[in-house]
Amino acid sequence: MVVTGMKQMWIGGARVNAIGGRTRQVINPTTGAVLATVPEADADDVRAAVGAARQAFDGGEWRRLTHRDRGQILFRVAEGIRGRAAELAETDSRNMGKPIVEAEFDVTDAAHCFEYYGGLATKIHGETLNVPDNAMSIVVREPVGVVGQIIPWNYPLLMAAWKLGPALAAGCTCVLKPAEQTPLSALILAEILSEAGIPAGVVNIVTGDGPVAGAALVEDPRVDKVAFTGGVDTGRLVMAGAARTVKRTTLELGGKNPNIVFADADFEAAVDGALFGAFANQGEVCSAGSRLLVERTIYPRMLDALAAKVTRIRLGDPMDRETKMGPLVTEEHMQKVLDYIDVGRREGHRVITGGGRATAGALRSGFFVEPTIFADVPPGSRIGQEEIFGPVLAAMPFDTEEDAIRIANDTPYGLAGAVWTRDVFRGVRVLQQIRAGILWLNTYHSTYNEAPWGGYKQSGFGRELGPYGLDAYLEMKQININLNEAPLAWY
């Protein structure tokens, strides 16, 4: 059963309300009705959570456990997620609007993420270096300390797993702030973590907004590292706040990602890839293929095929297993996306499908936007450059391989992208020249816990997932051992 009613934060191993007594209503975007009520944390609540994490790191047992013991606890977290899989999937689906089938994949991936880092916890190792002296130099890796983690609303449970899994494997303690719109599955996860054996104070979850709770977390001098996933504008604020105390920082920000289709591609696969790349999770994906670059010789055929096949994307209640696209997360975000569609029209771009709010029947009460495709979009236009974060695809033709690469890179972002071609040599050649951190050939959106996730340019810096994500929560220390028995006698 999905979480409902009044919920509490998780600080120091206990459920707590906000110190000031403030609350926030969490809205079901399918109906516009109140789904639950959560505490609205302010700076005092964040200070309490950071204090609990600081105490747990400095004086607690977590970082002193053996790597094997920490790993076994993470395995139990994975099993706890599987044991409550239906509840977690339904919670994210109702809270965020994600189709239930996609939410179920997220729950599975979240369990796998904790399991992956449970195994990796025992693989943290140091080095012994040969130095030009009668000495031994040892490099050891230690947990960075207390980490503040701020996650977005588009993958509520999965982003929590991406952040907490490697941090806990490293031996860090955490204060996690889920997005204020979608805090519910993170609060369920707190119970799972506690039941798996995570000691009190090691993970603290505060519910509040970015300007108040998020800013307090970033600026608290007792926090050693900040990991943020979200928009580039907020990312700049996080960087500035973290700089005041020179915190370690990783940022995974936005994208305006190119999906490039050459004339020799498997045409039907490329059509599916274009639609899935743009409209999965309602297009609310930082790595969405929101710019479709199509070789000019097949461009008209591609537009016709997209317009015909987009009709198969069924909008509806995300709890219906036949639904392919649910509502956008909030009314405010829906209006932002509709405003961008109006911008595209004012710029004179041709709408070949969609273009407005979906209001037929039961959709009327929710925040639904039609899957929208603009054709002949100039690469330098606003909808060709700015991240919309919704179901809006900008299609544009190209003539040559060099032209495709130039357009693909002509953006301040560099998160993701894809190439569709039967010519593997050309595919790899083009991928090597795209300045982005996550790339696919003849597919889109596949993500693996073993591989690094992150971007170039204004898409952020640092990496999550894989051993690279674990490294982000570790410090390196050198220890030099003098092997000379004679005194130094420097003076």
Catalytically annotated residues: 252, 286
Count the alpha carbons within 13 Å of 324 in the hemisphere toward its beta carbon: 15
Q: Are 204 and 49 in contact (CB under 8 A)?
A: yes
* DSSP label of 377: -
The pairing of strands 34-39 and 127-129 is unpaired
Taking the C-alpha atoms of residue 322 and residue 338, their distance in angstroms, rounded to an integer, is 25
Q: What are the C-alpha distances in Å from 150 to residues 57, 126, 155, 410, 470? A: 19, 29, 12, 29, 17
List Cα–Cα distances, 138 to 75, 121, 127, 269, 483, in angstroms. Answer: 30, 20, 6, 52, 13
- Cα separation of 441 and 443, whole Å? 6
Choose among 137, 373, 114, 425: nearest CA to 262: 425
Q: Which sign does the torsion angle of CA 94, 96, 100, 104 carry?
A: negative
145 near 172, Cβ under 8 Å? yes
DSSP string covering 246-284, please? Answer: T-EEEEE-----EEEE-TTS-HHHHHHHHHHHHHGGGG-
What does the block give as tokens for 69?
């013991």
Distances from the Cα of 319 to the Cα of 60, 95, 352, angstroms: 42, 11, 29
C-alpha torsion angle, residues 24, 28, 33, 38 (rounded to 10): -20
CB atoms under 10 Å from CB of 129, counted, come to: 12
Widest CA span in the chain: 89
Cα 269 from Cα 440, distance rounded (Å) = 13
